[in-house]
Amino acid sequence: MVRKFLYFIAFCIVLVIIAGFILTIWSKELTELAFTPKGDFVAQDPLTGNAYEDPAMWISRPGNSSSDPARWRPDSLPRTETPARSAVFFVHPTSYLARDAWNAPLDDETANSGAELFVRGLASPFNRSVEIWAPRYRQAAVGAFLASGENTTKAFDLAYNDLAQAFDYFVATTGKDVPIVLAGHSQGALHLKRILAEKVAGTPLADRVVAAYIAGWPVSMERDLPAMGLPACATDSQSGCVLSWQSYAEPADAELLFDAYERGPTLDGKPLTKADTLCTNPILGTVGGDAPASDNLGTLVPNGNFTGGEIVVGAVPARCSEDNLLLIGDPPEMGNAVLPGNNYHVYDIPLFWMNVRQDFARREAGWLKTHGGGAPGAPATAAAQ
């Protein structure tokens, strides 16, 4: 188990060190040359209609073996937690760094291994649920985020269409009365915004949403949220709402991020603005606010030589800046996977691992109270095993 956690940290380090190097040393043009896929996007057939009936299309799902990466738990975590009644749909971030295609092939071993490691580190705060579903999908290559135009649009569309199909299967399989949680990071969060807008907003499914954790990707308060059909989470026990944050240590230099806002349109097609971006404080569970490190219930911190990890209480504070960044004080010792400008993007969820876990529990309790479901406990219905 420790070795697998080591692999997760090592993978993050490789990805971020490469990205950080090129962003700080090379020009934008050379960066695009180094990572943008070769040639134009090549159209691919959609997945077969029953593709996600195959357990192999899921990194995590009910009935997986004990090696299911989403089931990883720190040694210090109590083994007698009350199981959640919600089903969780989790979308992993980018793990495809190659230039061979605009989207990762489903049989790419490197991308698949990286995706599994991301699920281990980023989906595990939600594993009170016995139903975590994390699909494989033809994710857009990392180079798609450095370019713009028709190739990028088609790469994102292909990835989204896979996930939309996976989400439909998830909804059909979990049953009509089960509360659901949507969670993802970076590219995964990008696609979840669209799933909310196209699959959830304005439908009966919206009433089943406990919360949507759109971590590591910007959400426009003015234009994205109305399209997504859910408000920002205003209190720590509110259900049916959205959380989103982007973590920076101080002093924070987010110029690269703000430049990217101009290339990253909102759901209505207009550019983002930093003044309009949602900043959830994951320690407080509210929009904005200032929380001391003493209120951080536990950060998942790798040890010095990356042979394991532990939960450290009170490691970092959190406050939302005027630019709607989540500031975490002086740079914490989390390892070498930090982007330029003190950007702790890779650690958006691990920095607040225990707070996210408790946030999920509170919002589920709030959902159950308003829906007459009583106290959290055993799952409301059995999923397909």
For residue 75, the model assigns a pLDDT of: 86
Q: Which residues partner with 103 through β-bridges?
A: 140
How far from 268 is each of 9, 220, 224, 228, 265, CA to CA, in Å?
Answer: 36, 10, 7, 11, 7
Beta-carbon contacts of residue 366 (< 8 Å; ≥ 6 apart): 237, 238, 239
Q: 30 or 275, which is more confident? A: 275
Find the mean pLDDT for residues 291-308.
Answer: 78
Please say if the pLDDT value at position 85 is more than 70.
Answer: yes
Please say if the pLDDT value at position 383 is more than 80.
Answer: no
Please say if the pLDDT value at position 98 is more than 80.
Answer: yes
The least confident of 48-62, 169-183, 365-379 is 365-379
Nearest Cα neighbor of 15 from 35, 33, 41 is: 35
d(CA 182, CA 87): 9
- The rounded mean pLDDT for the chain is 87
Residues of the chain by 3-state class (helix, strand, coil), percent to 5: 40, 15, 45
For residue 381, the model assigns a pLDDT of: 39
Q: 296 or 8, which is more confident? A: 296
How far from 158 is each of 137, 139, 145, 203, 288, CA to CA, in Å?
Answer: 9, 8, 14, 24, 34
Please say if the pLDDT value at position 293 is more than 50.
Answer: yes
- In this prediction the pTM is 0.90
How far from 241 is each of 143, 314, 373, CA to CA, in Å?
Answer: 31, 26, 18
Angle 30-149-109 from CA coordinates, rounded to 5°: 70
Nearest Cα neighbor of 101 from 153, 37, 46 is: 37
For residue 171, the model assigns a pLDDT of: 97
Q: 233 or 309, which is more confident? A: 233
Please say if the pLDDT value at position 14 is more than 50.
Answer: no
Please say if the pLDDT value at position 175 is more than 90.
Answer: no
Are 164 and 50 within 8 A, CB to CB? no
Beta-carbon contacts of residue 305 (< 8 Å; ≥ 6 apart): none
Find the mean pLDDT for residues 95-119.
Answer: 92
Nearest Cα neighbor of 141 from 95, 178, 186 is: 95
Find the mean pLDDT for residues 197-208.
Answer: 97
Region class of 241: left (phi > 0), else alpha (psi between -120 and 50), else beta: beta
DSSP line for 233-273: --STT--SEEE---EE-SS---HHHHHHHTTSB-TTSPBP-
For residue 191, the model assigns a pLDDT of: 97
Pairing of strands 299-302, 309-312: antiparallel
d(CA 84, CA 132): 11
Please say if the pLDDT value at position 384 is more than 50.
Answer: no
d(CA 49, CA 106): 16
DSSP state of 203: S
Are 301 and 312 within 8 A, CB to CB? yes
Nearest Cα neighbor of 154 from 30, 46, 35 is: 46
pLDDT in tens, 210-244: 999 999 999 999 999 999 999 999 999 999 999 99
Burial class of residue 53, CB neighbours in 10 A (0-12, 13-18, 19+): exposed
